[in-house]
Homo-oligomer: A and B are copies of this chain.
Amino acid sequence: MSKTILVTGGARSGKSALAESMTLGLGRPAVYIATATIWDDEMAARVAEHKARRGPEWHTVQEPLDLVGALAASDGQGPRLVDCLTLWLTNLMLGEHDWRAAGQALCAALPEQTSPVVFVTNEVGLGIVPDNALARAFRDAAGTINQWVAAASDEVWFTVAGLPMKVK
């Protein structure tokens, strides 16, 4: 079983930059598995900014839903960076897929990997309880997915102001 790492933190806390650095530290070239689906200009700008930072050592794959398939297809091609679980969960919930089943299948697939996997995720549960039920359901699901993947990971890092704190 290869190494699995989870990098979590708030918005603009340096998660992606840390995870990219860790992934390249595990092997080059690396595979970037983007879960973002581009639905507006704000998201397009963010994706473009991330891609410009990464440079030529990365092979980029876009997979909004089937992470198990994307990991299977890229295994053996170098370390994989999945950025990020929170957008993946958003895609699952918007498409009315069973996110619990998908999360369990993802964790079940991790022991089979021969190349390392680094996951980026977001902490979204440290503010005031949201007014609407959908946002509450989303933050509950996000916290649950984070717990499952953290339990299945060898290392877990929490980023604050661009700096890593070791959780596991």
**Chain A positions near chain B (C-beta within 8 angstroms):** 6, 8-14, 42, 121, 123-130, 133, 135-136, 138-140, 142-144, 146-147, 149-151, 156, 158, 160-163, 165, 167-168
Nearest chain B residue, comparing its CB with the CB of A168: B163
Distance between Cα atoms of A146 and B160 in the complex (Å)? 9
Instruction: Let me know if A161 and B156 touch, CB within 8 A.
Output: yes
Distance between Cα atoms of A135 and B127 in the complex (Å)? 10
With a 10 A CB-CB cut-off, give which of A140, A146, A156, A162 has the most chain B CB atoms: A162
Of B135, B139, B149, B162, the residue contacting A12 (CB under 8 A) is B139
Contact partners of A140 in chain B: CB under 8 A = 11-12
Instruction: Let me know if A139 and B150 touch, CB within 8 A.
Output: no
Say whether, besides A10-B126, A127-B127, A150 and B142 are in contact (CB < 8 Å). Answer: no
Per CB-CB distance, the 9 closest pairs between chain A and chain B, nearest first, are A127-B127, A12-B143, A10-B125, A11-B125, A147-B162, A150-B161, A126-B126, A10-B126, A146-B161
Nearest chain B residue, comparing its CB with the CB of A142: B12
Contact partners of A162 in chain B: CB under 8 A = 146-147, 150-151
Distance in Å from the Cβ of A49 to the closest Cβ of chain B? 11
Nearest chain B residue, comparing its CB with the CB of A162: B147
Distance between Cα atoms of A150 and B159 in the complex (Å)? 12
Instruction: Let me know if A147 and B14 touch, CB within 8 A.
Output: yes
- Beyond A12-B146, A125-B127, A161-B167, list 13 extra A-B contacts (CB 8 Å): A8-B161, A10-B123, A11-B143, A12-B140, A14-B147, A124-B129, A127-B130, A146-B161, A150-B160, A150-B162, A150-B163, A151-B162, A165-B165
